[in-house]
Amino acid sequence: MPHSSSPALRCLALSIGLAASPAFAAIDAEGAMKVFQEAAAICARDAGALWGRTLCGPMLLVDPDDNAIAANQADGGGALKASGAIFTGRLPASEILANTPVQWSGTPWTEMLWPLPDDAARRRVMIAHELFHRIQPELGMARLDGGNQHLDTLEGRYLLQLEWRALAKALAAPDAATRRAAIADALAFRHERHRLFASAAADEGALEANEGVAEYTGVRAGLSTPQARTSYAIEDLSAFVAAPSFVRSFAYATGPAYGLLLDQADPGWRDKRGGGQRLDQLLAAALHLGAPADAKARAAAYDDGSLRASETKRDQERTLRLAAMRERFVAGPVLTLPLTHSSYQFNPQTLQPLDELGTVYPTLRLAGDFGVLEVEDGALMDKAMKQATVSAAGIDASNLKGPGWRLTLNKGWTIQPGARKGDLVATPPAR
């Protein structure tokens, strides 16, 4: 990794000049420079205060249409070429396209897909969020995500939305007493959810450690005033209600809320993360809160009955969807792909848990030893993350196409019959 002080200096140096003409027209030099300058400003404002080190480092902007790259520095492998104050090239098709940390051409990068959001606040939060992900493992804060299937059930979703409403009330509170009472309500709803579902505490804590803390960092470092941060966090607590599923998206809402409330209750909370405590545990300890209140009794303060009714209706529809997914990805013929050395990109707001069998990804780009799978209409990843399956009904074996997916195999890999009639398996070359 680069020395902790050099990435920020590198970002600042990029403001000197623009390239006369970019190597790839899809990412214009001026737009790329704006992103790199915004990253530099975020890092300069933070000055390592949040996590004890700069957030800035090597950045790749990638256009998913043609894999064109604009980078803020040269790569270790020499694949990029200087073009004025930026570096340009093309990302190989084998590399994953996502907002994520990547190791490519001898350099650890923060990769972001082009174009970034037009809205300045959302763009800056995204930049800071993704910059944090690159240093997250070194801070000892990366966790293996849990499934969070309970957040697609009636009670799981209902209690989470009550918690969101209480957190929004706490963030908007005009005084400490009102804020404390609302926080106590939020923790009561969370405690009840953890009581009902055995794996909920561990699963939610893992995703909040990964994405919740990253989104808090995005809000805290990306926005410059307490008022802007609070407004953004409150907006997220309502915006994610519209997400098709909460299982992989909930932490983007709870992370900033808990983080900002912790900033008020215990400004040194970030130094206590090494103990593995969840955000809710840290907040309860900071406020010296006692036993949680009765969640059922407190629900009436946040729901007039309409939320419960809408979630009950959704759960009835969910039962029908689960039956259809089981028929498609379990009972019917399937093509199975191993997830050895795999990476993937997906929309976290759309994931659908399929009981204890795993999670259905409506859209997905999966790269692995076998090659690349592109999905537009559903794939099932098993709970252990060892294999992915797509429907093999009506498969076009000659073109490696099926209902809503296309497969490109690496050299030597073949499609062979599976254990059941109609099943297929991607098989590696013989050794």
95 and 109 in contact (C-beta within 8 Å)?
no
Place of tokens 């529809």: 317
Q: Is 327 exposed, middle or buried (0-12, 13-18, 19+ CB in 10 A)?
A: exposed
pLDDT digits (tens), the chain, 431 positions: 332 222 222 222 222 222 333 334 469 999 999 999 999 999 999 999 999 999 999 999 999 999 999 999 999 999 999 999 999 999 998 888 899 999 999 999 999 999 999 999 999 999 999 999 999 999 988 877 778 999 999 999 999 999 999 999 999 999 999 999 999 999 999 999 999 999 999 999 999 999 999 999 999 999 999 999 999 999 999 999 998 899 999 999 999 999 999 999 999 999 987 778 999 999 999 999 999 999 999 999 999 999 999 999 999 999 999 999 999 999 999 999 999 888 888 888 888 888 889 999 999 999 999 999 999 999 999 988 899 999 999 887 777 999 999 999 999 999 999 999 999 999 999 88
**In this structure, how many other beta carbons lie within 10 angstroms of the beta carbon of residue 119?**
10
How is residue 139 annotated by DSSP?
G
Q: Provide the pLDDT for residue 313.
A: 97
Non-local CB neighbours of 324 within 8 Å, separated by 6+ positions: none
Q: What is the pLDDT of residue 14?
A: 28
- Using CA atoms, how far apart are residues 149 and 134, in angstroms rounded to an integer? 27
